[in-house]
Amino acid sequence: MPEPVRRIEVFTGAGRRRNWSAAEKAAIVAESYDSGTTVCGVARRHGLTPQQLFAWRRQARRTESASLFVPAVIEAAPLPGPPLATAPPRTRRRKIPDIELEIAGVEVRIGSAASPRAIAAVIRALKQST
């Protein structure tokens, strides 16, 4: 005796692949990491297969690890104020570095005399140590 059919899915529409924008993929991947949700549940809600969602998650992890740079914040140096009536005692000023980096908890200050080659070598060394 043949087994009865338990579930039937009917696909309607053009029958072509759906193109997801990067923003839609990112939102679905983020939803799949929410606590109390499962990848299968999120995939089902959005009409995906779990394998497709796992592939998107893998792709997002690769993209995150490839983008190790952070936005730079540039601050203008304060303008000198008007001269004081009585000049303060001269103190030795510490030169403020032109570039400050923090990678994996390590702070690096680079002066304006550093060559681009030296800066790149420092960044490579910091990346390898993490």
For 48, the domain range is 22-66
Phi, psi of 109 (to 5 degrees): -115, 130
Q: Cα(87)–Cα(120) distance, rounded to whole angstroms?
A: 42
Q: What is the pLDDT, as a whole number, of residue 22?
A: 87
Q: Look at residue 89 and tell me if it is in a domain.
A: no
Q: Which residues of 24-42 are buried (b: 16+ CB within 10 A; e: fewer)?
A: ebeebbeebeeeeeebeeb
Give domain status of residue 16, yes or no: no
pLDDT at residue 56, rounded to an integer: 93
Check residue 14 and give its pLDDT. Answer: 62
- What are the pLDDT tens digits along the chain (130 aa)? 677 767 777 766 666 678 888 889 999 999 999 888 999 999 999 989 999 999 999 988 887 655 555 556 666 666 666 665 565 666 666 655 577 777 667 777 777 777 778 777 777 777 776 6
The pLDDT assigned to 91 comes to 64
* Total domains present in the chain: 2
Q: What is the pLDDT at residue 28?
A: 93
Name 108's bridge partners. 101
The answer to whether residue 30 is domain-embedded is yes
